């Protein structure tokens, strides 16, 4: 570069509009005698010739290649002409990066890129560039799209803590809202937030900060759905209470799937622990030994005239209801297992084999599993309904209520059932022994009764088994009441807006019965719309979600949405995050990408 001139040169604003300089030049704060290159991150004398010479250097030109942050989705012209080669390359890179983000580890792009380059030619994107495209292009685009779709609509959050494989505490956040674009309720992944501390204050601060980054107003948040941990839903100092200070009308819904799992696990504690131990040890016996599996396959084929046995299922400490599938698999192969462990215990000097042989020889263990199989199957079925991506919101809560009522009718006296309606039956004091039948009269299941009658056990042992199974059902009812109160209250509220009941001319609830916390209009407006909707001609055979979206869109002769205030209140209720929860599916892919 030339020597420094005799006279001082100053940075000139008009250089920022020069075609050769405008993309990279910037002023140096506090020093107008220099200019800065954005790409090279160097300072240059504020002289036009020096700037031109810097722009012509090889180092500068190599760093001026457009970065992935400046990529933009190409727009096809109205004439329908094809995009340029570079635009096609960018489009391919976006699609591969999107696929990697949704379905696989980013590391897989490393080898996939080489294959695509050999097959298609101009394609260069490896792990680093793919990561940059996802974080700098796709994530901001989809987050902005989500922000626009939510708009001013009410929304609720699914919250779940997790720890990834690098032992970092994370909070998975999913959102449920009424989509303006698709005109339906949508549950989708929102983001993973790093937690500095996993206490109530740390989690609530992280949620508020993340919502602000996403452009979502906390005042529009209707509720949160989470597990029953005290740090999340405790009465005094929890995430819920701290968020409620910022949004007073906030509601909380405990995860029904998690609650049902806890219900079954707590009730199981009244049955002998040897049953659960037997199931776990059966899986462990075969899990890591090819020889044991081969020996068992031979026994199974011998007594079943060929065929291959199904694999045994591993019990889970966090998803206890998988025990239903474990019991089903063992009972299907009970004879083969009994014969196998009988042979192994006599042929091998193995304490575990002798112990399992004794367990399978004890008829009482089989009776307990025959009792548990239909009970756990019913609970697991309802649990699956709450995990559906699509479904009738009111329908799944009715299934939950039906599960409670069917269990109650098996052990509670018929006289108590006749004296109380369904609403009062849900609020019974289930710890009162006067409500219950004797264990001889209770409905313990026909399959269990048949196997009990066919067994040769002593009468006193049969009576003890029946008593423990009866206690299991009673504890199941108590746990339903303790773990699912919000869900039962949610059912009561949703029943008020059942399409058939709303369109009926009889037995319609009054305005005073509606949950006022979900409506922002005056009582007079609400009463008028509630009275007139019954004669508006809507079909009462629709699902509750579709019905109220149709009501909200309905217009009178003047083009006014005459039921908008009523419909918006019900939509706020339906927005509460209680089913179709994607949080488990969202957390675990995050661990996979870390690999």
**Distance between CA atoms of 174 and 583, rounded to whole angstroms?**
6
Does the pLDDT at position 475 exceed 90?
yes
Structure confidence by residue, pLDDT tens digits, 396-409: 888 888 899 999 99
CA gap 522, 528 in Å, rounded? 10
5: DSSP letter: P
pLDDT tens for residues 28-84?
877 888 888 887 878 888 888 888 888 888 888 877 754 434 444 444 334 444 445
Q: What pLDDT does residue 156 have? A: 92
Max distance between CA atoms of the chain, in angstroms, equals: 115
Q: What is the pLDDT of residue 542?
A: 85
Complete edge-to-edge strand list for the sheet that includes strand 155-163: 184-194, 169-179, 155-163, 221-226, 251-254
Contact (CB, 8 A) for 526 and 464: no
Inter-CA distances, 25 with 10, 68, 419, 460, 541, Å: 14, 20, 85, 93, 66
Q: Of the ranges 238-247, 315-324, 484-493, which one carries the lowest mean pLDDT score?
A: 484-493
**Is pLDDT above 50 for 388?**
yes
Measured CA to CA, the distance from residue 394 to residue 544 in angstroms comes to: 7
Q: Where are the domains of the chain?
A: 13-65, 270-496, 500-574
Dist. CA 178–CA 174, nearest whole Å:
14
The H or E element containing residue 62 is helix 58-63
In the chain, pLDDT over 90 holds for what percent of residues? 30
Range 181-206 average pLDDT: 88
Q: Which residues pair with 192 in a beta bridge?
A: 172
- How far apart are the C-alpha atoms of 27 and 192, rounded to whole Å? 37
Distance (Å, whole) CA 71 – CA 137: 7
- 18-22, 157-161, 173-177, 553-557: range with lowest mean pLDDT: 18-22
Give the pLDDT of residue 58: 83
Are the C-beta atoms of residues 302 and 325 closer than 8 Å to each other?
A: no
* Three state DSSP letters for 404-460: HHHHHHHHECHHHHHHCCHHHHCCCCCCCHHHECCCCCCCCCHHHHHHHHHCCCCHH
pLDDT band at 371 (very low <50, low <70, confident <90, very high): very high
Of 583 and 373, the one with more pLDDT:
373
pLDDT at 413: 92
pLDDT category, 579, cuts 50, 70, 90? low
Residue corresponding to tokens 């948040």? 221
Q: Which of 377-391, 432-446, 559-573 has the lowest mean pLDDT?
A: 377-391
What's the chain's average pLDDT?
A: 84
- Say what the pLDDT of residue 390 is: 62
pLDDT, position 183: 86
- Taking the model in full, what pTM does it have? 0.72
Angle between helices 200-214 and 239-246 (to 10 degrees): 50
Whether 338 has a pLDDT exceeding 50, the answer reads yes
Buried-state track 539-574, b at ≥16 Cβ within 10 A, e below 16: eeebebbebbbbbbebeeeeeeebbbbbbbbbbbbb
Is the model's pLDDT at 333 over the cut of 80? yes
pLDDT above 80 (res 509): yes
Summarize pLDDT for 99-108 with one digit per residue, the tens: 888 888 888 8
Please give the pLDDT value at position 203: 92
Which element (helix H / strand E) includes 223? strand 221-226
Beta-carbon count within 10 A of 375 CB: 21
Q: What is the pLDDT of residue 389?
A: 64
The pLDDT value given to residue 12? 87
Whole-angstrom Cα distance, residue 125 to residue 113? 6
């Amino acid at each position: 570069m030339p020597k420094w001139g005799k006279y001082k040169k100053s940075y000139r604003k008009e250089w920022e509009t020069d075609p050769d300089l405008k993309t990279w030049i910037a002023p140096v704060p506090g020093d107008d005698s220099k200019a800065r290159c954005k790409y090279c991150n160097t300072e240059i004398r504020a002289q036009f010739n020096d700037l031109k010479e810097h722009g012509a250097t090889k180092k500068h030109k190599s760093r001026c290649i457009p970065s992935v942050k400046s990529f933009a989705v190409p727009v096809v012209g109205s004439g329908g002409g094809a995009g340029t080669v570079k635009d096609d390359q960018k489009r391919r890179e976006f699609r591969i990066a999107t696929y990697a983000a949704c379905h696989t580890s980013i590391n897989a792009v490393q080898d996939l890129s080489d294959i695509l380059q050999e097959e298609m030619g101009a394609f260069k994107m490896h792990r680093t560039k793919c990561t940059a495209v996802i974080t700098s292009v796709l994530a901001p685009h989809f987050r902005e799209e989500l922000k626009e779709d939510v708009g001013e609509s009410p929304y609720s959050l699914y919250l779940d803590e997790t720890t990834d494989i690098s032992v970092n505490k994370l909070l998975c956040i999913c959102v449920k809202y009424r989509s303006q674009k698709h005109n339906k309720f949508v549950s989708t992944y929102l983001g993973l937030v790093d937690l500095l501390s996993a206490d109530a204050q740390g989690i609530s601060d992280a949620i508020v900060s993340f919502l602000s980054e996403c452009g979502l107003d906390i005042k529009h948040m209707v509720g949160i759905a989470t597990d029953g941990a005290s740090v999340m839903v405790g009465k005094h100092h929890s995430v819920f209470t701290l968020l409620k200070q910022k949004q007073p009308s906030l509601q909380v819904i405990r995860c029904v799937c998690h609650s049902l799992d806890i219900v079954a696990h707590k009730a199981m504690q009244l049955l002998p622990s040897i049953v659960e131990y037997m199931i776990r040890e059966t899986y462990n016996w075969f899990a890591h030994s090819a020889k044991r599996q081969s020996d068992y396959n031979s026994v199974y084929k011998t007594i079943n005239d060929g065929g291959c046995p199904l694999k045994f299922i591993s019990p889970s400490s966090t998803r206890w209801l998988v025990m239903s599938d474990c019991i089903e698999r063992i009972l299907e192969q009970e004879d083969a297992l009994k014969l196998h462990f009988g042979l192994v215990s006599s042929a091998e000097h193995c304490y575990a084999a002798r112990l399992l042989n004794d367990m399978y020889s004890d008829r009482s263990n089989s009776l307990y599993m025959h009792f548990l199989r239909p009970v756990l199957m019913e609970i697991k079925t309802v649990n699956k309904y709450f995990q559906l991506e699509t479904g009738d919101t009111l329908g799944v809560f009715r299934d939950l209520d039906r599960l409670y009522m069917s269990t109650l009718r098996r052990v509670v006296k018929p006289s108590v059932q006749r004296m109380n309606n369904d609403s009062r039956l849900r609020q019974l004091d289930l710890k009162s022994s006067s409500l219950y039948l004797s264990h001889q009269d209770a409905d313990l299941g026909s399959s269990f009764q048949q196997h009990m009658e066919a067994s040769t056990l002593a009468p006193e042992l049969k009576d003890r088994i029946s008593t423990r199974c009866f206690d299991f059902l009673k504890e199941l009812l108590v746990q339903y009441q303790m773990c699912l109160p919000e869900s039962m209250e949610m059912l009561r509220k949703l029943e008020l807006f059942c399409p058939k009941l709303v369109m009926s001319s009889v037995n319609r609830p009054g305005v005073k019965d509606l949950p006022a916390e979900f409506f922002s209009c005056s009582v007079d407006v609400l009463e008028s719309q509630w009275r007139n909707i019954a004669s508006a001609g809507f079909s009462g055979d629709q699902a509750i979600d579709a019905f109220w979206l149709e009501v909200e869109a309905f217009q009178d002769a003047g083009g006014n949405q005459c039921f908008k205030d009523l419909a918006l209140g019900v939509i706020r209720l339906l927005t509460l995050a209680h089913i179709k929860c994607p949080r488990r599916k969202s957390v675990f892919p995050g661990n996979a990408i870390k690999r």
